[in-house]
Each structure stands twice: as C-alpha cells, then as structure tokens.
A and B are shown apart, each in its own frame.
Chain A
Amino acid sequence: MSRRGAKRLALALVLILAAGAAPAVQPDEILADPALEARAREIGREIRCPVCQGESIDDSNAPISRDLRIILRERLVAGDTNDEVIDYLVDRYGEFILFKPRATGANWILWLAGPVMLVAAGGVAVLALRRKSAPEPALSPEEQARLAELMRE
C-alpha cells in the first residue's frame, strides 16, 4: 500500500475508533450540582472498571465504566448516601469492583497486616535494644590492669 493510502486508511480508522472510545468521565455525565458531582468523583475513584486492568471507572474508557458512572450518579440524585451507592453497585457487580476491599473475613489480614507488623517489629526492636543497652559489666581486675598498661604505652 502506498504511503498516501496508508494515511487515508488511518484516517478512516480514527473516525471509527473515535466513535467507539469514550475516554474517562464525559461532559454529558457531569451533574449540575457540584457537591453531588464531587461525591460522584469520590466514589468513582474507588470503583474498579470490571473489564479493565486496574483502572477506576473514572479513568476507564470502557463502555461499562460509563454505565457505572451514570448509574452511580442516578443513585446520588435519587438521594442515596455514598455508602448506599457503593452497596448498590457491589450487590450487582460483586466486591471485585471495590478498590478498597471491605474489612470483613479474611480481608482483616490485609487491613491489619501493617499495624500488626509495625507493633511486632517495634516490640522486637525495643526488647533487643534494651538488652543491648544494658550496662556493660564492669572490668575485671585483670582487664583493669591490662587497660592501665595500654594507657601507659
């Protein structure tokens, strides 16, 4: 294919792809009330796009993320609290969509690992230091004599 032809094909592709992709939060989704929109963003950042690789629905281009963004805004407009909105989404899409897993069941391990390790490490360190910083035994008479000898030299 000629270079010119390649460019024309590419241009056609731009138009096709542009129709399909919906990058991140779209202007038409945004709520008129800035307070509600701020809450929507706060929630959106914590919800994972179900089909992407580790993107939040606010960052994702996938159509399902757009659906989720719209649903969560509908719930907010209907008067749900943030927690209610999140519960609503989790009921339908599973806890997989939560970027901040709930502290239930085995997830306690995840949440408590940091504090527990810190306390354990701190405890071990303090105990070891206590032992280490215990006053050294006084010099024995032989050592005293040796020291005096060394000092003379």
Chain B
Amino acid sequence: MIVELGHFALILALTVAVVQTVLPLWGAQRDNPALMAVAAPAAVAQFALVALAFGVLTWAFVVSDFSLAVVANNSHTLKPMLYKVTGVWGNHEGSLLLWVLILALFGAVAAIFGTSLPARLRARVLAVQGSIGAAFLAFLVFTSNPFWRLVTPPLDGADMNPLLQDPGLAFHPPFLYLGYVGLSMAFSFAVAALIEGRVDAAWARWVRPWTLTAWVFLTIGIALGSWWAYYELGWGGFWFWDPVENASFMPWLFAAALLHSAIVVEKRESLKSWTILLAILAFGFSLLGTFLVRSGVITSVHSFASDPTRGVFILGLLAFFTGGALTLFALRAGSMEGKGVFALISRESALVANNILLAVSAMVVFIGTIWPLAAELLIGRTVSVGEPFFNATFTPFFVALAVILPAGAMLAWKRGDLPRALRQLVPALLLAGAFAALAFALQTGRSALGPIGLFLGTWVIFGAVTDLWLRTGRSGNRLSRLSRLPRADWGKATAHSGLGVVILAVAALHAWKIEVVTVVDTGGSFSLGAYDVLLKEVKQVAGPNYVSTTAEMVVTKGGADFATLYPEKRVYPVQAMPTTEAAIGYGPFADVYLVIGDPQAGGGWAVRGYVEPMANWLWAGAALMALGGILSLSDRRYRVAAGARRAVPQGVPAE
C-alpha cells in the first residue's frame, strides 16, 4: 500500500510538472499574472511529490520489500543498513529518482527564494525547469519505474555490486547529481533569457550563484569519486579517464568557464551571448553524461546499472533540450549585443582566454570519449581511447591555463597593463622557479613532469597570494585591510590556489610514484621507497555479507613506526565477486598504499605497494577550490542584493 502511494506520487509529480511547464509559459507570453503565478506553487508541489516517492522507495529498501523488482535485484537482507539506504541510488531506477528529486529541489528553491525576480522571468525560468522535470519524470514512469512489483517476490534479494558497498556511495552520487542537476538552473535562466530576448547584469547576478553552487557540488562530487576510486579499486590511481569520469568532468569544465564568463556579464555587460551558449552547453553536457552513464553505450567500469534500450529515450531528451536551446540561441543571440568594450590586454580578454582553454579542453575530452563509438559507427574501425591519449592531449590546455592565470587575474578591467602585472608577480615567479629547481636537483633521471608541475602549481598559488596582498593597497595597516576584503576576493584567491595545489599533487603523483610488486612470506618484509613493510600475519575474517582475507602489515620508516595497515581481499558470496580493499597509511607528503594479492604456489603472498607522493594534497586542493566557491557565494552582493534589478554599483571588487 505504501509503495502504491509512492507510485501515485510519482505519476502526480509528472502531471504537476507538465502544468508547471505549460501554464506559466503561456501566461508569460500573454501577460497573464494568474497563469504565471502557477509556477511557484507547482514547483514546490512537484518537489513534495517526488520527495514522497523517494521516501517510499527508501522505506522499501530499508524493510527489504522484495516484492519491488528494484529492491529484489539490488538488495539483500544481510546487507548493512547504511548500504540499504544508499542502495536506493545504487541502481538505475533509484539513481534517476534521485536525479529528479534534486532537479525538483532546485526548482522549489528557485521558486521560494526567487520572489525578487521579475515575475515574467521567474515564470519562464520555473517553466523551463518544470519541462526538464516533466521529461525525466516521464522517462522514469514509462521506462524505468522504480515501483514495479514482482508477481512472485523472491525470498531474498540479489544484493548490490560489492564495489558499491562503501560509504563513498553515500556521498559521491548525491554530490555529483547536485552538481549535474544544479546546472539545470543556469540552463533554465539561459533559455528564459533567450525567450525574453534580454540579458543584463541583474540576470548574470542571478545565474552566477546557481552556477557557483553547481560547480562547488560538482567539484566535491568529482573529488569524492576520485578518492573513492583511489582507495577502493586497488590500482593506486586516482583518475582513469574512464568515460563516466569524463562525463562528470566535461560539465565541470564548462561550468568553470561559465562562472568566469558570467563575471564579465555581471561587471561589464559583455560576452552575453557567449555566456548563454556556455550555460546551454554546461547542462547539455550534464545530460550527455547522464546518457553515457545510463545507456551503457560506452563501456566503462562504472556503468553498473545501464540498459541500452533506455538510451534512446535519454538521447531523445538530450536532442530535444540541447537542440531546442541551441536553435533558440541561433534565432535570438543576435539581439544580445554586449555593451562593454575592452582592449586586447584586459581582464575581459584574459577571461576569454580562460573560457577558450576550458571549453576547448572539454571538447577534447568529449571527442576522445565518443571517438571509439563514432569511429565504429561511421567507418567501422574499432579503436580505444584511454589514459595515454588524454594525458597527451588534455594536459597542454591546463598547462597553458596555469601559465596565464596569475597574470590574467591581476589585469585591470577594460584596459590592462601586462608588464606591470608581470612585475608585481616577479616574487611568485622566482619562488616557483626555486621550487622547480629544487625538485629537479632532488630527483635523478625522472621525467620533467615533476619540476614543471611544481613550477606551475607554485606559480598559481603564489600568484593568487600576490593578487590578494596587492588588493590591500600600498601602505597603512595592510593586514587588517586583508581581513576586510570582500569574500569574493578571498574566494577567488582560495579557489585559484586550490587549483595550484591540485596541479602540484597531480604532477607529483605522475612523476614520483613508486610501485613494488613482490612475494613475501608471513613474517618477511620488503622495502618500498623509504619505507619498510613487514607482513606480520594473514587471516580469514568474516564480515556481515562477505568473507575477507586480511593481512596485517607493519610499515616503518627509518626504523620508526609509520603505520600498521590491514589490506583485505573480500569475496561477496551472493554476487560471487572478489574485491580488493587497499589499506592506506595517510601521510602529509606521501601515502603508503598496500594491496594483498593471492597466496603463491611456492608459499608466501603476492603483495603490491605504492608510495603515493602528495596524494592528500589532491583532495585538499579540491576542497580548497570548493571552499573558494563557497566563499565567493557568500559574498555580500549575493546575500544582500541577489536578484535586485539595479545597475552594478561602482567600486565592486573584481569577482
């Protein structure tokens, strides 16, 4: 009975979403306030109904109601409670329901907090948001209904893919979806602006917080996924250029470009049509990501819950929304001439360069991701595109980005003075050069990647620090002025130095990682870089729904204890699937990463060990970027004047 309530709520949400789309759009066209006023309550109602459906599905998982096909196929009575709850979105139907829930949540938030928006724009934004909701609710109800009952329920479920039985599942998909779907707001604003035929600073001021929010969530989601892959997959890597990772990375790149170009619209009323295009592309690539993951059209280690027959439906949605918005763009973009003029050397130009590099690098990832599919369909050639390709073709774009970032971020609006900016950056440049030289001197016969990455990372970090410090003026109490700088300035410096930290970590991990594969007897030891590892004991341990081979390994560095680690090999009998649980000793400058392998015929155990230099810096850098976004989001101008239709006050600090 409760399940049927959820089912009805889902169907009702679909009809509400259709109403939310049609009536306000019609009302905005006909200038009918009553029809336009339908949008906000409809958005809230849609969210409440989807939330009810989601709650019901969660309840079904918690009580293991195996009369539901989804629960029977993806759960098991022995599964720990945490994974019963997170298992709600560990499958195709449930994860789409989460997608729609977050979509409706954004719509409801915009409806509740968007009261200061002009009525017509608000009605159109909510209508476009409603149309996306309607499309995905239809997809859910007609092709992927989570409330499908089984005629004869099984006694127990088929359990969930063991790789997903991890706390990572509790956070990674929700954050990622908050990011993906958050971009739908930027899309809705862009389409509404195209229908209105008008883009101004107030519009940009509305779009930027939504984009920033989505980007912050996407950053956290991607970083969590990367960390999860790092500790769960047991390969010691953090990024595999897997199609599904790429699917989340492309919207991130476009969102990063969008939140920079929206600054130009907000401050200078320039780059309007380009910003609209980016908003469409950012969400378009979110949809594409959903398509890639959910259709299984591209094979990936991630597509745990995919079904080719559903791909056509999502492809249709993708074509409708992206194609429709781009057509509208082609028709209307001409009427959005920017106002601000600027010189070739200016903050605006630097942001254009940033946009080009981010957008083209995203397109490189896109072409690399679909090339195997395109080549097979079009010319019948089966090729693979993987990590070595992306490392070779994507990296140059980020190198270029890191090179221009510190100087570009310090140029003045409208007309900048490049030599002056460079002069101010000399200390940062010298510092970066010194770090690179140090790295070069310390390493012998390794790739140039380490020193180059160290140079770029330090350059970006100290460039951001220099920028922040120079904002405090020339004399007087600069420290107290530093603390009173607008949050946006702090956000900019924090996010940019976060990027610098990520560059440092990626370069270090690529250049200085150490790997050892060997056989050790119980009681024996081996050396791993500067560390010594002793295999003390291996024993069989039973978990709640798995059996584990657990090793106890003692890691010492120069005779001093570093960590005692317990790498595991697990087998989940219900799914008959082995997984490796790497054990990681986290250190400030390097992680020790251990994996236990198989017992060897001649005695002893196969073990793999890695020293992962600066791995922690990678997550710290991503966290800094997200924190920068949050700081920027909490800036006074968004807290006080969000949505107010008035001109940009003079003297607002950059960003």
- Chain A interface mostly helix, strand, loop or mixed? helix
Rounded to whole angstroms, the CA-CA distance of A36 and B240 in the bound complex is 25
Is A32 engaged at the interface, CB distance under 8 Å to the other chain? no
Q: Given that A24-B235, A27-B519, A125-B356 are known contacts, is A11 also in contact with B341, CB under 8 Å in the complex?
A: no
A10 and B388 form a contact (CB under 8 A): no
A99 and B235 form a contact (CB under 8 A): no
Chain B residues with CB under 8 Å of A96's CB are 382-384
Q: Contact flags (1/0) for B236-262 with A, using CB distance below 8 Å?
A: 010010110000000000000000000
Chain A residues with CB under 8 Å of B364's CB are 113-114, 117
A10 and B546 form a contact (CB under 8 A): yes
Is A70 engaged at the interface, CB distance under 8 Å to the other chain? no
Looking at the complex, which one of A27, A99, A106, A130 makes contact with B375 (CB distance below 8 Å)? A106
Rounded to whole angstroms, the CA-CA distance of A3 and B541 in the bound complex is 14
Q: Contact flags (1/0) for A95-121 with B, using CB distance below 8 Å?
A: 111111100011101110110011001
Stretch at the interface among B85-93, B220-228, B484-492, B594-602: B594-602
A21 and B578 form a contact (CB under 8 A): yes
Rounded to whole angstroms, the CA-CA distance of A27 and B599 in the bound complex is 11
Chain B residues with CB under 8 Å of A54's CB are 240, 242-243, 299-301, 384, 386
A110 and B606 form a contact (CB under 8 A): no
Rounded to whole angstroms, the CA-CA distance of A118 and B359 in the bound complex is 9
Looking at the complex, which one of B356, B569, B595 makes contact with A118 (CB distance below 8 Å)? B356
Interface size on B, residues (CB 8 A): 68
Q: Contact flags (1/0) for B374-392 with A, using CB distance below 8 Å?
A: 0100110111111111001
- Chain B interface mostly helix, strand, loop or mixed? mixed
Is B343 engaged at the interface, CB distance under 8 Å to the other chain? yes
Looking at the complex, which one of A53, A101, A122 makes contact with B389 (CB distance below 8 Å)? A101
How many whole Å from A69's CB to the nearest CB in chain B? 11
Rounded to whole angstroms, the CA-CA distance of A118 and B353 in the bound complex is 10
Rounded to whole angstroms, the CA-CA distance of A133 and B547 in the bound complex is 69
Is A25 engaged at the interface, CB distance under 8 Å to the other chain? yes
Stretch at the interface among A12-20, A77-85, A142-150: A12-20
Is B368 engaged at the interface, CB distance under 8 Å to the other chain? yes
| Interface positions of A (Cβ within 8 A of B) | 6-7, 9-11, 13-14, 17-18, 21-28, 30, 41, 45-46, 48, 53-56, 59, 94-101, 105-107, 109-111, 113-114, 117-118, 121-122, 125-126, 129-130, 132-133, 136
Q: Return 17 A-B CB contacts under 8 Å, by A number.
A: A7-B547, A13-B573, A18-B569, A21-B598, A45-B388, A53-B301, A54-B240, A95-B382, A98-B383, A99-B384, A110-B367, A114-B367, A117-B364, A121-B359, A122-B356, A130-B344, A133-B344
